[in-house]
Chains A and B, each alone.
Chain A
Amino acid sequence: NAGVTQTPKFQVLKTGQSMTLQCAQDMNHEYMSWYRQDPGMGLRLIHYSVGAGITDQGEVPNGYNVSRSTTEDFPLRLLSAAPSQTSVYFCASTPHGADTQYFGPGTRLTVL
């Protein structure tokens, strides 16, 4: 198993550009989440999903969209990038009935 994979590893955007951060897991996990990690702020939940077709907002959802059309994939879309969205983004998945989250390697995003 590859576990949780994220692409790209690094990305630089200009203000106003849009892009999609990809996240995939091959463990058939039901739950998936997106977090952003900022210095001194820890990890904050952006959006999460409890199954295909079901998503909900976390602590800091503004400026981000998600969808979950399959169990495996959970892309995060930045609609119009802003410098405040410069961060490291982590995707995580959790199997149903368990409490351990498995994290991807992260995507480092810089918005100029």
Chain B
Amino acid sequence: AQRVTQPEKLLSVFKGAPVELKCNYSYSGSPELFWYVQYSRQRLQLLLRHISRESIKGFTADLNKGETSFHLKKPFAQEEDSAMYYCALSGPGGGSTLGRLYFGRGTQLTVWP
């Protein structure tokens, strides 16, 4: 069965410090992994997806199949990065099941000035 684990419920860093939000997964096939973010009083929105290997708002995430991890990193955190971050995994079946996502429990990131 698929599972997404985010071991840190809360994470606090100071502005300008590096930040890493951890995500581990279990999945029996080739996973599609995502990071979603929910800023205060805003909707949950996609931050980045592993398949595009992109950097969004300075964040990057690399899929490590050996360690079954998809950690989110940013070298210099900003106050506006404070939000709830969710790691998510797409369910089996590829395109026909893109309406299904399995989420981790989320990590609340606070960046102090």
Contact = CB atoms under 8 A, between A and B. Distances in A.
Interface of A: 31-33, 35, 40-45, 48-50, 58-59, 90, 92, 94, 96-101, 103-106
Contacts of B88: 43
**Contact residues on B (Cβ < 8 Å of other chain), bracket:** 20 to 34
A106 B36 CA distance: 15
Contacts of A35: 101, 103
B104 A31 contact: no
B98 A94 contact: yes
Interface of B: 4, 6, 9, 32, 34, 36, 43-46, 49, 51, 86, 88, 90, 95-106
A42 B100 contact: no
B103 A44 contact: yes
A43 B103 contact: yes
A65 B95 CA distance: 24
Q: 10 tightest A-B contacts by CB?
A: A31-B99, A48-B99, A42-B105, A43-B103, A42-B103, A103-B44, A33-B99, A100-B46, A103-B43, A42-B106
B100 A48 contact: yes
B65 to A, nearest CB: 18
A32 B86 contact: no
A58 B100 contact: yes
Given A99-B49, A101-B46, A42 B104 contact: yes
